[in-house]
Each structure stands twice: as structure tokens, then as C-alpha cells.
Amino acid sequence: MNVKFFLDTADLAEIEEAASWGALAGVTTNPTLYSRIGGKLDDFHAHIKRICDIVGPDCPVSAESVAMTRDEIVRDGRELAAIAPNVVVKIPTMVEGLAATRALADEGIPVNMTLCFTVPQAILAARAGARYISPFVGRFDDISEDGLAQLDDVVRAIGNYDFSEDTVNGEQIEIIAASIRSANHVTQAALMGADIATVPFGILKKCVQHPLTDRGLESFLKDWEKVQNA
Ligand code: E4P
């Protein structure tokens, strides 16, 4: 398994820009991110399709169900999965969500189990057939807990076992470090062995940049001018 960057946004311009950099492996959206771009209910499926078209068939795109009962989540999940083959149904870690995850996984529909905060939640998600599990780092820090330690616990606990009999087509579960608030969160997630970091566009830009890279480039350009004028 290789470490990957997903973009945590519903903004098409950000997705287009990040995709053009050549290192984007997926997109995660949620109701807040969709609302932030002024998204409307009747355009939701079309919007997810636009995202899928931008990133291409090899990049998973998580689209969240906001239904609260297993039957409604399953219905939502089927509709979302029908948008494009790379749609992953995002479902909160709760009883109804677990039941819906099992039903969708049995139909071959991949699920990203979100709002995960503990190892037992992650294990239940894995046993229910989730293809991706998203432990939230920043939101755990927000309540004065240690989000990175919790991510580390989840990565190690899930890595201890083989859940391939539970997942769609026996695929390996991938842990998505979510609710990422800094480039350091990305560093730590990679050191812990998280499979994916899903990051807002601003943080992705910070991951590319470093002041010493800028300064080094500036001096190379200056010196190259000297070479050209010599
Ligand atoms: C991603 O799947 C999550 O929805 C997202 O990372 C949540 O981030 P936030 O806690 O910054 O809202």
C-alpha cells in the first residue's frame, strides 16, 4: 500500500488545480464542504459527477449520505454509487451506519466510514466491511484530546489484523487521516503509516512549499543569470 494525498473539498477549481499537479489520488467531500461552495440539494449528484470527471476513474471520490436510518442510507448509497464507478459512499460511524455499510459492502459498493474517533469504532467499521476508515485528528484535538495519538492507535489496531474477508472484493482497508489542520499532521500521519491524508487545499499548498525551497530557487536563478551573462 502506498501513502496518498486526497483533497478535502467540494470546490471544483481547487480540485482542478490540485489534479493538475499530478499527485492527487482522491477527493473527500462532506455536507459542510458542499454547503461552503453554495451547493444546492438538487445539484448534489451532478456536482459529484463533475468531481469524478475532473479526477478520472482511478481516483476515489467520497460523497456523504446524511440519512439517519439504515434503509435510507442504503438507498442513498446505491444512488451515489450509480453516479460513477469511483464514487465511495461516506457514512458516519453509528449503528445505522454500520448496518448500511454491511449491506452496501455486500453489494460491492465501497464505503468510507467517517467521524471515527476510537479504535473500537474503527474495528466495528472494518468488520462491517468499510473499504476506508477516517479517524478525525483536528476535531479530537478541538476537545483537548490527542488526535494524532488516536490516529496512531487506529492505524496500529487495524494493521494488526486481516479484514479482507469483510471488505468489498477482499481489498485491504485504507486508513484516511482526516480533519487535518497542518502540514505537521500530514508528516505525523505518514510516519504512523496512515494510507491516506485528506487535506484542505490550503494545507496541500503548504505541504508543497518551504521558505528554504523558495530561497534556494531565488539564488539559483540569480546565479544562472550570472552564467548567462558570463
Ligand atoms: C473528511 O473526510 C472529513 O470530512 C474532513 O476531513 C473533516 O474535516 P474538519 O474537521 O476540518 O471539518
Among 2-6, 46-50, 97-101, which is the least confidently predicted range? 2-6
Q: Give the pLDDT score at 2.
A: 81
pLDDT band at 180 (very low <50, low <70, confident <90, very high): very high
- Ligand 1 centroid to 5 CA: how many Å? 14
Q: Which CATH architecture has domain 4-229?
A: Alpha-Beta Barrel (3.20)
Tell me how long the chain is.
230
Q: Is the C-beta atom of 93 inside 6 A of ligand 1?
A: no
End-to-end distance of the chain based on CA atoms, in angstroms? Answer: 50
Q: Give the pLDDT score at 1.
A: 62
pLDDT band at 172 (very low <50, low <70, confident <90, very high): very high
Domain definitions of the chain by residue range: 4-229
pTM over 0.85: yes
Q: Give the pLDDT score at 169.
A: 86
**Of 4, 90, 205, 206, which residue is the catalytic one?**
90
Q: Is the C-beta atom of 121 inside 6 A of ligand 1?
A: no
Q: Is the C-beta atom of 178 inside 6 A of ligand 1?
A: yes
The proportion of the chain whose per-residue pLDDT surpasses 90, expressed as a percent, equals 96
Residue with CA at minimum distance from ligand 1 atom 8? 179
